[in-house]
Structure 1
Amino acid sequence: MKASGGIKDKILTWLRITDKPVVKVYRGYVHQQKVVVFGHVLRVSPMPRQKYRQNFWINTFALLRLFMMRPVSGVTVKVSGIAEDVRFVTEKDGFFRLEWTPDEPFTPGWHPVKVDLITANLGPDDPVATGQGEVYRPHSTQFGIVSDIDDTFLISHSSNLRKRLHVLLTQNAHSRDPFENVVTHYQLLARAGTDGNATNPFFYVSSSEWNLYDYILTFCEKNDMPNGIYLLSQIKRFREVWKTGQNKHVTKFARIVRILEAFPEMKFVLLGDDTQEDPNIYSSLVSHFPHQIRCVYLRRVHKQNGVRTQEFVDQIVAAGVLCCYFNHSSEAIRHSETAGLVASEKIKK
C-alpha cells in the first residue's frame, strides 16, 4: 500500500494536482454592513501555475488541469477568527456562501478573511483545511461597474466554440490579449466621479466557470484591469471542458440582480458584448431597475447578431437609459466623455 501511495503521490506531484482538501475562497464584498464571502471546498484541485511559457503542450495541459477538480458536498465551513459562529454546509458542487454582520463595521477597501473546513467526509486521516481570501467594502462613490469578461474586454471568440477552445488551449493568462483601449476605458470608469484613492467598485460577472478564476484573475492583474469582485458560473468537470463558457445565462441575470439589490443607492454602468445573451440580460435589467442603470455598453463582435442586438439597444434607450453599441473601445471612451461619465482622455489612434 505504501508503494502504491508513493506512486500516486509522485504522479499527482508531476501533474501538479493535490488530493488534499482545499478551501478555495474568492473575493467577496461588504454591503449594508453585511459581509459576503463565497468559495468551494475541493478534494482534488490543481496547484497554482508558477511559470508561463508560450508552448502549445504546456498551455494545453495547464488549461486542462483547471478542470481536474472534485468538489465536496455536505461538509461544513466556518468563518475563521470571529466571535459569531457563522457556518455553511457546502452544496452539491462544493460551493459555499457565508454572510454575517461583523461586530465592528469594515472600513472602505480590501480586508482579509479566512474560512475553515471544520468537518469533512474526506476520511479520518485528512487534515482540516483553511482558505484565505479578501472582501471589499466600496467607498461612498456614485457608480458601480458590472462587466462581462469574454469578448467584452478579453478576446475569446465566444460565439465560435472551436475558436474559443483553441485560444484557451494554446494561449495562457500572460499571452492572451485585451481589446485595444479597453483597459484605458475601464480605468477611466474606475475613477469616474472619484479619484484613485476611492475608486468605483467593479463586479466581473461571467458565464465562464469557477475553474477559470485564477486564470482570469492573473490576466486582469497582468493587464492592469481595475481590481474587482468576480462572480463566475458553476464548476465543470474534466469531461465537460468542451462546454466551457456554455452556461445557463439566467443565472448571470440573477447574479447581477443580487449586486443591484445589495447596493440600492448606487447607480451602475453595465458592459457586455453581442456574442451571447448580454443584450437580452441587460435590457431585462434596465426594465427591472431603470433608475439604477446609468449606462449600458455593448461591444459589437458577432456580425450575425447585429440586428437582434440593435433591437435590445432600442429597448434600453426607450427606457431612458444611455446605451452605446460600439466597434472599438475608443468609441466607448468618447461616449463616456460626452455622457459626462469620465474626464476627457487622449487615446491612441
Structure 2
Amino acid sequence: MSDSPPKNRLLLTLIYEIKLKFNQVILWFSIKLGFIREIIIVPFNGFGNSSEIYLVGRVLKNNRVTKSNPEDSVWSNVKKMIRRFRTVIIPGAKVQASIDGENYVVETNEEGYFELTIKGDFQLQKEQSWLSVRFTLLDQILKNQGVVSAEAKVFIPSKNASVGVISDIDDTIIPTGATRLLEMLKTTFAKNAYSRVPFPGISELYSDLRRGASWQDNNPFFYVSSSPWNLFDFLMELLDIHRIPFGPLMLRDIGLSRSELISGSHRAHKMQQIRHIIRVSDPLPFLLIGDSGQEDPEIYLQIVREFPSRILMVFIRDVDDSRLDYVSTITQEMAKLGVDLRFGKDVQKAREVLIRHRLLPDLIEQKRDQFCSSERI
C-alpha cells in the first residue's frame, strides 16, 4: 500500500499548524495596534426538542457588515462579501450560555467556533417555536471591552407539526451555479440579498408547507447547505427579504484543517447534519428537497436507507440534464424502499403532488397558480 496518504496528512498538519501560528500573530498585532475595536459573538440559530438543544456560534472581530440595500452597487456588494470572509477569529475564549436561569460555559476552538448541546426540560408557550439563549463573553480580550453578549434563537418544532422539511439552498431555493466555479463566485460576490432572487414559486410553496394541510400546522424548516458560516447573516437576510420561512441554517467551516484542504466534505457535512436533525426531531416525518447539481440525490438515498420510515418524499430540482439517467436510477432505488422521489423543475407540479398526498389543501392550488412556472417535472 502506498504511503502517500500519511505523507499528505503530515504535510496538511504542518501547514495547518503554521496557519494557526499565523492567526495568533495576526490577532496579537491586531489587538496591540488597535485594529480590533470590537469583538462580537455570532450565534447561529440552533434547534432541539423539549429535552435537548444544540447551538453553534463563533467569536470574532466585528467587521461591521451592513445589511443589503436594493440600490447597492456591484462594488458595494463585493466589499461587503469580502468583509464577511476577512475574519479575525478569537480562539480559546470562554462563552457563557444562559437559559431558563441556568448557565453553561463553553470555549471556542482553534477556529473561533463553539458548539453546545444542553440537556434539560425546555417548555415552550403555546404556539411558540423559538427559545431564547443569551450568550456572554467571559474573557477580557480588549481594553475597555465592556459587555459582549448576543441572543440566539433555538427552534423547537411545535407539537402540532405534521411534517418537517429539510432543504438545500444553492440551486434549490436560489440560482447559484454551484457546479460552475466562476459563475458561483460572480453570483456570490456581485449580488446581494435583494438581487439574488429565488426560483419562481419557491417562497409561496415553502410558506404553504409551513402552514400545512390544516393551514395551522407550523411545520418546521431546516436548511442544510455546504455554504460557509461566513454567509450566515447574508442567507438569513435573504430568507427574510423573500419571505421564505425561517429555520435553522446548518452551514460549515470551509477552511483548511489538519487532514483536509477543505474542512469536511460536502457529503459528510450534509449527512451528519441531516442525521442529527432527524434524530433530535423524532418521531416527526420529513420531506427532503435538493437539486441534481451536486450530491443531493446520493445523500438523500443514503438517508432514506437509514431512516426509511421517517422520510415521506424527496424532491430534486433538475439543474443538470446530464444527471437525468443517474437520478432515475436513484429514483428506482428509493421506490424499493417505499419512498417517492420527484425530479424536475416545475414548482406547480411539485405542489400538485403534495396536494395529492394531503400535505397541502386543494384551495392553495387556486390561490398560488399565479406564482408558479410551467416547466416540466
State the shift of 1:338 in Å: 2.0
Instruction: Indicate which of 94, 107, 116 corresponds to 1:98.
Output: 116
Equivalent pair of 2:48/2:281 in contact (CA under 8 Å)? no
Map of 1:231 onto structure 2: 250
Aligned counterparts, 1:55-74, within 5 A: 55-74=73-92
Equivalent pair of 1:46/1:69 in contact (CA under 8 Å)? no
Distance, in Å, in 2 between the alignment partners of 1:46 and 1:162 is 27
Distance, in Å, in 2 between the alignment partners of 1:100 and 1:81 is 10
Map of 2:270 onto structure 1: 252
Give the secondary-structure state (helix, strand or coil) at the position aligned to 2:169. Answer: coil
Instruction: Indicate which of 148, 151, 158 corresponds to 2:178.
Output: 158
State the shift of 1:249 in Å: 2.2
State the shift of 1:44 in Å: 5.0
The worse-fitting range, judged by mean Cα deviation, of 68-77 and 146-155 is: 68-77
Q: Which amino acid aligns with 1:135?
A: V
Map of 2:233 onto structure 1: 214
TM-superposition CA deviations, 1:170-204 (whole Å, max 9, x none):
211111111111112212211224434x4100001
Equivalent pair of 1:23/1:117 in contact (CA under 8 Å)? yes
TM-superposition CA deviations, 1:89-134 (whole Å, max 9, x none):
11222111223245662333223221111125x3565445211221
Map of 2:3 onto structure 1: none
Equivalent pair of 1:208/1:245 in contact (CA under 8 Å)? no
Distance, in Å, in 1 between the alignment partners of 2:242 and 2:142 is 42
Map of 1:167 onto structure 2: 187
Equivalent pair of 1:188/1:343 in contact (CA under 8 Å)? no
Q: Which amino acid aligns with 2:134?
A: K
Q: Which amino acid aligns with 1:231?
A: M
Q: Which amino acid aligns with 1:320?
A: G
State the shift of 1:80 in Å: 2.9
Instruction: Indicate which of 149, 153, 172 corresponds to 2:169.
Output: 149
Give the secondary-structure state (helix, strand or coil) at the position aligned to 2:150. Answer: strand
Give the secondary-structure state (helix, strand or coil) at the position aligned to 1:159. Answer: coil
So what's the TM-score if we normalise by structure 2? 0.80
Map of 1:133 onto structure 2: 152
| Ranges in structure 1 where 5+ consecutive residues have no aligned partner | 13-17, 238-242
Q: Which amino acid aligns with 2:43?
A: V
Equivalent pair of 1:21/1:127 in contact (CA under 8 Å)? no
TM-superposition CA deviations, 1:233-277 (whole Å, max 9, x none):
11559xxxxx99995321111001000010121000000000111
Aligned counterparts, 1:12-31, within 5 A: 19-31=37-49
Q: Which amino acid aligns with 2:169?
A: I
**Residues 163 and 245 from structure 1, CA distance in 2 versus in 1: closer, same or farther, beyond 3 angstroms?**
farther
Distance, in Å, in 2 between the alignment partners of 1:318 and 1:253 is 21
Q: Which amino acid aligns with 2:275?
A: V
Map of 1:40 onto structure 2: 58
Equivalent pair of 1:22/1:45 in contact (CA under 8 Å)? no
**Residues 331 and 113 from structure 1, CA distance in 2 versus in 1: closer, same or farther, beyond 3 angstroms?**
same
State the shift of 1:48 in Å: 3.1
Q: Percent identity?
A: 25
**Residues 44 and 247 from structure 1, CA distance in 2 versus in 1: closer, same or farther, beyond 3 angstroms?**
farther
Instruction: Indicate which of 275, 278, 286 corresponds to 2:296.
Output: 278
**Residues 81 and 201 from structure 1, CA distance in 2 versus in 1: closer, same or farther, beyond 3 angstroms?**
closer
Equivalent pair of 1:209/1:245 in contact (CA under 8 Å)? no
**Residues 123 and 205 from structure 1, CA distance in 2 versus in 1: closer, same or farther, beyond 3 angstroms?**
same
Aligned length: 330
Give the secondary-structure state (helix, strand or coil) at the position aligned to 1:177. Answer: coil
Distance, in Å, in 1 between the alignment partners of 2:262 and 2:357 is 36
Map of 2:360 onto structure 1: 342
Map of 2:26 onto structure 1: none
Give the secondary-structure state (helix, strand or coil) at the position aligned to 1:315. Answer: helix
**Residues 81 and 331 from structure 1, CA distance in 2 versus in 1: closer, same or farther, beyond 3 angstroms?**
closer
Distance, in Å, in 2 between the alignment partners of 1:335 and 1:132 is 39
Equivalent pair of 1:110/1:137 in contact (CA under 8 Å)? yes
**Residues 309 and 50 from structure 1, CA distance in 2 versus in 1: closer, same or farther, beyond 3 angstroms?**
closer
Give the secondary-structure state (helix, strand or coil) at the position aligned to 1:190. Answer: helix
Distance, in Å, in 1 between the alignment partners of 2:241 and 2:219 is 20
State the shift of 1:303 in Å: 1.5
Q: Is the aligned partner of 1:176 residue 2:196?
A: yes
Q: Which amino acid aligns with 1:119?
A: D
